[in-house]
Amino acid sequence: MSSPEIASLSWGQMKVHGSTKIYKDCKVWPGGSRAWDWRETGTEHSPGVQPADVEEVVEKGVQILVIGRGMSEALKVPPSTVEYLKKKGIDVRVLQTEKAVKEYNALVTQGIRVGGVFHSTC
């Protein structure tokens, strides 16, 4: 199964191929996507993305995980999350969300098992 491309991104809205939903924040992986609800793990802009936020995507067998920090990069990614991913053998790319979406879609077109977590506002 391939990872779905992100069809569109604007402030507070993301659309993913294969889904009729409009996401504010989302998780994507080979074969699927869903809303990323920060309340599930108690995530806030700081300290930011926790291992628990990416675990679901990691379990889908991704080779690379792209993290979109928001349009103004307000969402932090602590070293502990990057280390968690590296220990799992996953290459991680942490970028401003517009750049993250471009990187993610480029990896999808290359046929790489890529996943992502994206914040579409600040």
Residue reference for tokens 């890529």: 114
**pLDDT at residue 36, as a whole number:** 98
Tell me, yes or no, if the pTM score tops 0.85: yes
Rg (CA), the chain: 13
**pLDDT at residue 49, as a whole number:** 98
How does the average pLDDT of the chain come out, rounded? Answer: 97
Tokens of residue 99, six digits: 């750049």
Q: What single-letter DSSP state applies at residue 56?
A: H
CATH of domain 4-116: 3.40.1230.10
Q: Which of 80, 58, 57, 77 is CA-nearest to residue 68?
A: 77
Phi/psi zone of residue 89: left (φ > 0), alpha (ψ -120 to 50 degrees), beta? Answer: left
Q: Which amino acid is at 38?
A: W
20-39 average pLDDT score? 97
pLDDT digits (tens, 9 = 90+) for 46-101: 999 999 999 999 999 999 999 999 999 999 999 999 999 999 999 999 999 999 99
**pLDDT at residue 72, as a whole number:** 97
8-35 average pLDDT score? 97
**Domain ranges across the chain:** 4-116
